[in-house]
Chains A and B, each alone.
Chain A
């Protein structure tokens, strides 16, 4: 049982380059999320998808786009990378229905923009 799989694990980009971070979950969860983690800032929500076919902005969406390709996959795209987007990115999924659920996180992508 893989849980949440993120690729790549590490990436270095030059300013202005684009890239897509991939995320897939095999738990049949309805909801998926992209967070970024910066020192001293905690986890901040970039975008989320409450269910297949829907996406919504989180706290820090500027400079990013997302695609919920199907129930399993939720990708995050940086169209024109900037040094301010240097961060660790986490994908997560959850099942909203039910009272005893939590997030399952992927292992993270460490992105450096130079």
Chain B
């Protein structure tokens, strides 16, 4: 069983706060690390796909970094807004099974106005 760990499990912040979450994954047989945003009553939506060590990707106020040697990725949200409230999933993709993702359990973010 392949272990993808996310922390914290849940997070409550005030509007305007910046926040970050962690995703840990196996450092061997790495191909890609995916981040998804999952709003309640909707389906997960892809945020980033990162493949290179040191990759940094940004979409608006959300950014992510990748360290494949030590097996972790951080997701940052700058100036959180209530509409950022969602569960953020990371998923590991290994080289021997391209396309198949191993998901973490997610970090549930609540942003209070």
Contacts and interface: CB of A to CB of B under 8 A. Distances in A.
A56 B98 CA distance: 13
B43 interface: yes
Contact of B49 (A40, A100, A104): A100
Interface residues of B, number: 22
A2 interface: no
A42 B103 contact: yes
Given A99-B49, A102-B36, A90 B43 contact: yes
Interface stretch (A11-19, A43-51, A68-76, A77-85): A43-51
Interface residues of A, number: 26
B42 A103 contact: no
Contacts of B32: 99
Interface string B39-79: 00011111001010000000000000000000000000000
Contacts, number: 50
Contacts of A99: 32, 49, 51
A67 interface: no
A107 to B, nearest CB: 5
Given A103-B44, A107-B43, A96 B34 contact: no
B89 A43 contact: yes
A103 B100 contact: no
A108 B91 CA distance: 19
**Highest count of chain A CB atoms <10 Å: which of B49, B91, B104:** B49
A103 B103 CA distance: 12
Contacts of A41: 105
Interface string B82-113: 00000001010000001111111110000000
28 contacts: A33-B100, A35-B103, A40-B105, A42-B89, A42-B105, A43-B89, A43-B91, A45-B101, A48-B99, A48-B100, A50-B99, A90-B43, A90-B44, A94-B99, A96-B99, A99-B32, A99-B49, A99-B51, A101-B49, A102-B34, A102-B36, A102-B49, A103-B34, A103-B44, A103-B101, A105-B45, A106-B43, A107-B42
Interface of A: 31, 33, 35, 40-45, 48, 50, 58-59, 90, 94, 96, 99-108
